[in-house]
Amino acid sequence: MRALLSVYDKSGLVPFARQLQDLGFELISTGGTYRDLEAAGLDVTAVAGVTGWPEMLDGRVKTLHPAIHGALLARTDLPHHRDDLITHGIAPIDMLVGNLYPFAATVADPNTAFPDAIEQIDIGGPAMLRAAAKNHQRVTVVCHPGDYDAVLDAVRAGGATDALRRELAAKAFAHVSAYDAVVADYLRVGADGPFPREFSVAGRHVASPRYGENPGQAAAAYARLTAGLPVPGILDARQLGGKALSFNNLLDADAAWNTIRGLDRPAVAIIKHTIPCGCALRDRLDDAYALALAGDPVSAFGGIVACNREIDGETARAMSATFFEVIIAPSFSDDALSVFGRKANLRLLELPAARAYRTRPPWDVRPISGGLLVQHADTTPDDPTTWQVATTRVPNLAERRDLTFAWHVVRHVKSNGIVFVTDEAVVGVGSGQPNRLESIAIAARKASARATGAVMASDAFFPFADNVEAAAAARITAIIQPGGSMRDAEVIAAADAAGIAIVFTGTRHFKH
């Protein structure tokens, strides 16, 4: 039996190779893998000794040779394949152990030059993995060190089963597919043209929720693999306490973290079912939390909290009075950890300040029956210098400040989103309604008397003046919205009649 080993990830390689050799395998290897095995005292043959050709073109050509690919692809159950092997002096390879160059890690460094990135595109590795995986009825292909023990157990028991070889072949094709998807993504970076005719979404399994949205649904969490700076997210967080996160916890935690992204002052957001039911800015985190909770204390129960500053003991003590599923922050003081440690089921997630997005917005990919919808994610920062006052009355400084904050929050509220804000704190939210009037009514009901003197943000334009009339009835003093309706003139006239200031942003943040 012969095993060819050619890996970039050398975790557990030497012990695995040693046990293969003890089980009777002849070892063949390339480059750095060969040097590591030889240095460990193993009896290993260089690929050049099998092919009769040295590595060439700066290592670009090592394994691309019939002595390797014929040995991997040959079906020894077919007489004419056996005849070909004999004619050309090729001995079959029974196991391939391989994984690929770290292309994603290389291009995650913005200082990586294009020629250096191109050199990290693996050619021989994917070719061998595909060959071995295609011929998995005879060849065992291993691309993840985590499978070493299972493979060794199978060999000791008499050989890998058909089921195991097929499972490993699927992993090999997935490994190559994800790798190629990142390469294609890298080569597309900077292009402003249409979306490609074909594309793949690459991911790496990082967590296993107990189930999906409902107990009858299986679920998994995958980190998205892309070229350039990784898109930071909740899966990068370090869990400090509590039980495992559920599928819904991850969705809500993602919404919470995204809501406070980009806010410079101490901020707290409280999320329930992906909707910000409370959010506030203050100079002190405990004050921001108190106002965020006051935004909708009923909905906050069982929600998820995100903060953009380290949580101190005082803030932790305030938070501990309410039941929350998850609390997210860049860090937690020792005092805070001691306070939260008394809540056995509370999940604490430590997630440092977000890195910048890569040059272009990441793709937002959503499934539909039989297909996918793809768009650029709505992550481009707003530019308040481009906003225009559309009404006779101009918002005062306090209203401008609140309008800016309300516009930040409303982009995280679902379809027909409406947000009421007073003194940089959310006091009412309406979302997910089939018409905007319903959302305004819900936000007004939640805000109650706090709506008086508040400002309002709308994620999309007002189709009719009745939206402004509803805002006036709630005693709103200023509104921020995209503008662009056929009836903008009527909307502006209604605002002027009510003494309400309207700011047009020119940008819609509708979130379906």
* Model confidence pLDDT, tens digit, residues 62-87: 778 888 888 999 888 888 888 888 89
Phi first, then psi, for residue 505 (nearest 5°) are: -95, -25
Both structure tokens of 133: 């995986």
Q: Which residues of 213-239 are buried (b: 16+ CB within 10 A; e: fewer)?
A: eeeeeebebebebbbbbbbbbbbbbee
Mean pLDDT of 306-315: 95
Which pLDDT band holds residue 465 (cuts at 50, 70, 90)? very high
pLDDT of residue 61: 73
Average pLDDT over residues 83-108: 87
- The pLDDT assigned to 106 comes to 85
DSSP line for 94-116 = -EEEE----HHHHHTSTT--HHH
Band of pLDDT at residue 377, cut at 50, 70 and 90: confident
In order of 209, 216, 300, 408, 417, the CA distances from 213 in angstroms are 10, 8, 20, 28, 23
More confident residue, 241 or 346: 346
Q: State the pLDDT at residue 189.
A: 60
Q: How many domains does the chain have?
A: 3
Q: Exposed, middle or buried: residue 426 (CB in 10 Å: 0-12, 13-18, 19+)?
A: buried
Same domain, 73 and 151: yes
- The stretch 197-218 carries a mean pLDDT of 88
Residue 328, in any domain of the structure: yes
Which residues, 6+ apart, have CB-to-CB distance to 8 below 8 Å? 99, 100, 101, 102, 125
The residue-averaged pLDDT of 282-294 equals 96
24 and 163 share one domain: yes
pLDDT at 214: 93
Question: Please, which pLDDT band fits residue 105 given cuts at 50, 70 and 90?
Answer: confident
Domain match, 338 and 407 both: no
Both 346 and 279 in a single domain?
Answer: yes
- Cite the DSSP H helix spans in 309-427: 313-319, 334-340, 397-410
The position carrying tokens 């009923």 is: 298
Mean residue pLDDT across the chain? 90
Task: List CB contacts of 200: < 8 A, sequence separation 6 or more.
Answer: 177, 178, 180, 181, 184
Residue 229: the pLDDT is 67
Element (H, E) at 31: helix 31-39
Report residue 164: phi and psi, to 5°.
Answer: -65, -45
CB 205 within 8 Å of CB 220: yes
Q: Say whether both 346 and 389 belong to one domain.
A: no
188, 206, 227 - which closes a domain? 188
Give pLDDT, residue 148.
94
Do 11 and 106 lie in a common domain? Answer: yes
| 325/204 Cα distance (integer angstroms) | 26
For residues 156 and 280, membership in a common domain is answered with no
Residue 321 lies in a domain: yes
Tokens of 293: 């909770």
Mean pLDDT confidence for 252-265 = 92
Distance CA 366, CA 254 (A): 16
Q: 151 and 41 in one domain?
A: yes
Last residue of a domain, one of 160, 188, 216: 188
Separation CA 390–CA 483 (nearest Å): 9
Give pLDDT, residue 101: 83
Work out the percent of the chain whose per-residue pLDDT is above 90: 64
Do 172 and 257 sit in the same domain of this protein?
Answer: no
11-47 residue pLDDT tens: 999 999 999 999 999 999 988 898 999 898 998 898 8
- Predicted confidence at residue 28, as pLDDT, reads 92
Residue 263 has pLDDT above 60, yes or no: yes
Q: What pLDDT does 304 receive?
A: 96
Q: Is the pLDDT of residue 442 over 80?
A: yes
Question: Same structural domain for residues 172 and 61?
Answer: yes
Q: Which of 118-122, 183-187, 433-437 has the highest mean pLDDT?
A: 433-437
- pLDDT at site 230: 66
199: which DSSP letter? -
380 within domain boundaries:
no
Q: Are residues 171 and 251 in the same domain?
A: no
The verdict on residue 203 lying in a domain is: no
| Per-residue confidence band for 354, with pLDDT thresholds at 50, 70 and 90 | low
Does one domain contain both 279 and 413?
no
pLDDT at res. 47? 83
What is the rounded distance in angstroms from the CA atom of residue 55 to the CA atom of residue 61? 6
pLDDT at 476 over 60: yes
Q: What is the mean pLDDT of residues 146-155?
A: 93
Least confident of 67-76, 400-409, 454-463: 67-76
Q: What is the DSSP string of 457-489?
A: EESS--SSTHHHHHHHHTT--EEEE----TTHH
List of residues 6+ apart from 465 with CB closer than 8 A: 487, 490, 491, 493, 494
Range name among 197-211, 223-237, 445-459 with the lowest pLDDT average: 223-237
User: Phi and psi for 446 in degrees, rounded to 5?
Assistant: -65, -40
Q: In what order do the strands lie in the sheet with 238-241?
A: 238-241, 347-350, 324-329, 303-307, 267-272, 275-281, 425-430, 418-422, 455-458, 478-481, 501-504, 388-389
Residue 319, in any domain of the structure: yes
The CATH number covering residue 265 comes to 3.40.140.20
Cite the active site residues.
Answer: 134, 273
pLDDT at 55 exceeding the cut of 90: no
Which residue range forms the structural domain that includes residue 423? 385-504
DSSP alpha helix (H) spans, 65-161: 66-73, 79-88, 103-107, 114-119, 124-134, 148-156
What is the pLDDT averaged over residues 430-443?
Answer: 93
Confidence check: pLDDT of 285 > 80:
yes
User: Which of these ranges, 161-165, 332-336, 360-364, has the smallest mean pLDDT?
Assistant: 360-364
pLDDT reported for residue 403:
97
Bridge partners, residue 87, by sequence: none
Average pLDDT over residues 228-244: 82
Q: Is the pLDDT of residue 397 over 90?
A: yes
- Residues with Cβ < 8 Å from 332, sequence gap 6 or more? 240, 310, 311, 316, 340, 348, 350
Place of tokens 């379906």: 512
231: confidence class by pLDDT, cuts 50, 70, 90: low
Tell the burial category of 356 from Cβ atoms under 10 Å away from its Cβ (0-12, 13-18, 19+). Answer: exposed
- Residues 159-205 have pLDDT tens digits of 889 999 999 999 999 999 999 998 888 888 655 566 777 788 888 89
Q: Which of 188, 204, 223 is the last residue of a domain?
A: 188
Lowest mean pLDDT among 29-33, 294-298, 467-471: 29-33
| Secondary structure element (H or E) that encloses residue 48, with its range | helix 47-51
Residue 120's pLDDT is what?
84
| Tokens representing residue 287 in the block | 């004050």
Structure tokens at 182: 């990142």
Assess contact for 259 and 306: CB atoms under 8 A.
yes
pLDDT above 70 (res 392): yes
